[in-house]
Amino acid sequence: MIETIIFIGLIALIISANLYNKFRLQRKNHAKLQKGIYQLSLLLSLIQNLQRHRGVCANLDPNNRQQQQRLSAEINSIWDSLISPEYDGNQTRLHIQKRNWEALAAQPENSFMPHCQLIEMLLNELNVIADTCSLTSTQTNINHSELWQNLLERPMFAESLGKLRALGNKAASLGYCPADIRVQLHYQLQCLANNSMDSTTCIEIKSLIEKEILEPEKIHIEPRVYFQRMTQAIDAQIQITLEHLNELKQVN
């Protein structure tokens, strides 16, 4: 009788210990996921503002300096929030990227390619954080194809639009489209045509650029108007990704 009671007690203890360990693991994974979602949100905000900074720098009007400085201050603030011992990506790589930004911000003239290279590195960080925080491997309650499309592929699509915004904005600020910009615009439009993420947006942007930037001998659209129209398309893509992140936050 005593042996039976002891045996039952041991079984109950083992079950309780397993349940407790399972609960602790769930809490740990939940905290890990929430931290990852927060870091992804910061990265997306950083990328979005860097894209805007690139577009503003492409406009050769000296009056844009104040807008550049305002964006730089916002970007610096996001960097400060992102860089911490809690960051789940590669700390060394992130610090290198921040130094690249500081060098770029100090000399923003002719900075199209440095912007693009920095943004590409940060887009790769989205993959790193998503993997590190198990969003792309261990979650069984999410649609993985939808996750990859909205969280990792859509920001790349937005970056294609961002490049077109910067190039077209520079041409609009000049009042004509030089040969080198024309070549880059055609290349980026071809890349856009090969992307099936949002066909409606692709058609609208292609029409805008051909009609307002590439076809006219003298460009009449104001750089500010072109920038705003492109920004609306880009922000719409980023917003979809942020909404998806928010859904993941609620689920987990």
10 Å Cβ neighbour count for 182?
15
> C-alpha distances in angstroms, 37 versus 8, 74, 90, 120, 158?
43, 20, 16, 20, 19
What pLDDT was estimated at residue 209?
97
pLDDT in tens, 148-176: 777 888 999 999 999 999 999 999 999 99
Between 141 and 11, name the one with better pLDDT: 11
Between 197 and 74, name the one with better pLDDT: 74
- The three-point CA angle 52-248-199 to 5° equals 50
How sure is the predictor about 130, in pLDDT bands with cuts at 50, 70 and 90?
A: confident
pLDDT in tens, 6-25: 656 556 556 655 554 555 55
> C-alpha distances in angstroms, 249 versus 35, 46, 86, 153, 170?
10, 20, 18, 19, 39
What pLDDT was estimated at residue 138?
47
List, in order, residues 6 or more apart from 27 with CB less than 8 Å away. Answer: none
What pLDDT was estimated at residue 207?
95
What pLDDT was estimated at residue 145?
66
What pLDDT was estimated at residue 36?
79
Mean pLDDT of the region 214-219: 95
Domain boundaries, the chain: 28-251
**Average pLDDT of the chain to the nearest whole number:** 84
For the stretch 187-209, what's the b/e string if a residue is b when 16 or more beta carbons lie within 10 angstroms of its beta carbon?
ebbeebeeeebbeebbeebbebb
